[in-house]
A = this chain, B = another copy of it.
């Protein structure tokens, strides 16, 4: 009986491990493979034969794994380049040595490309009995072809909860308050849009809609004039018409001596402060917490991720 290999790649989410748990569980219920190996640190570790035997994981461990954020097997940023034939040869060697029939690989667009490259290589070299299965995961929800990606729903839930709760907080005083919540999403506005599930967000800035400073400030002024407050959600990938990220460009625009800080949220704060439209601006960058906050996993998300492995 041949074996299976599961591994993880790219940025973590709070539910990737549920897919690994699903693969292990499925083989326990209906043993198709002799062993289910976990490859540590994705391709990077597999090339070094860093394996961990997951075959007989207990039910308790399986349940804990489903609720553990990030990548329990470790991840990598190693890219398997099509022109680097040595890596491909080495990988098929390792698969032969361990009699691995199927490799399940979780990840985003780059990892799915790795799966495609390995399948193409096997087809081209008439290598039989080696298959590659991509298991999509990304919090950004920007994977092509599929309807939605495991990882997104939990991050979206955390963002919506945080948006609603920080909105409650920003609302307590009578003074002027402008609050900016910065979410992930370099090229896709899904995570920022999750903030709108609350119904309390006044303005949103997405990568998909080029940022126009004048239009934005005019909209902001309307909210300030009306209620002296404005709650804004911005995506880290917010950019101008010419493609320049807000986070990269604003230092050139700042002529008032304000320090230019990290991300798009801080850049937007500088734009607002420099324009004089508002005096008090608070920024919260949700950073790593939004993709790893497993204590508020979406049940749908973790179930789908588990079933993906099953």
List the interface of chain A (C-beta within 8 A of B).
8, 12, 14, 41, 44, 68-71, 74-77, 161-162, 165-166, 168-175, 179, 259-262, 266, 282-289, 291-296
Residues from chain B with a CB closer than 8 A to the CB of A288 are 166, 169-170, 179, 282, 284
Contact (Cβ within 8 A) B74 A165: no
What 4 A-B pairs have minimum CB-CB distances, sorted nearest first? A70-B168, A75-B172, A169-B292, A165-B292
Residues from chain B with a CB closer than 8 A to the CB of A259 are 259-261
Q: Which of B68, B169, B262, B296 contacts A291 (CB 8 A)?
A: B169
Contact (Cβ within 8 A) A14 B70: no
CA distance A74 to B8 in the complex (A): 47
Copies in the complex: 2
CA distance A173 to B9 in the complex (A): 9
Residues from chain B with a CB closer than 8 A to the CB of A71 are 172
Contact (Cβ within 8 A) B169 A70: yes
11 A/B residue pairs, CB under 8 Å, sorted by A:
A12-B172, A41-B174, A68-B168, A69-B165, A70-B171, A161-B295, A166-B289, A168-B292, A169-B292, A284-B285, A286-B289
Contact (Cβ within 8 A) A44 B174: yes
Q: Which of B172, B284, B291 contacts A70 (CB 8 A)?
A: B172
Q: Which residue of the partner chain B has the closest CB to A286?
A: B289
CA distance A74 to B171 in the complex (A): 7
CA distance A44 to B175 in the complex (A): 11
CA distance A284 to B166 in the complex (A): 16
The distance from the CB of A153 to the nearest CB of chain B, in whole angstroms, is 15
CA distance A153 to B41 in the complex (A): 36
The distance from the CB of A89 to the nearest CB of chain B, in whole angstroms, is 22
Residues from chain B with a CB closer than 8 A to the CB of A170 are 288
Contact (Cβ within 8 A) A173 B261: no
The distance from the CB of A177 to the nearest CB of chain B, in whole angstroms, is 11
The distance from the CB of A163 to the nearest CB of chain B, in whole angstroms, is 10
The distance from the CB of A120 to the nearest CB of chain B, in whole angstroms, is 27
Residues from chain B with a CB closer than 8 A to the CB of A169 are 12, 69-70, 288, 291-292
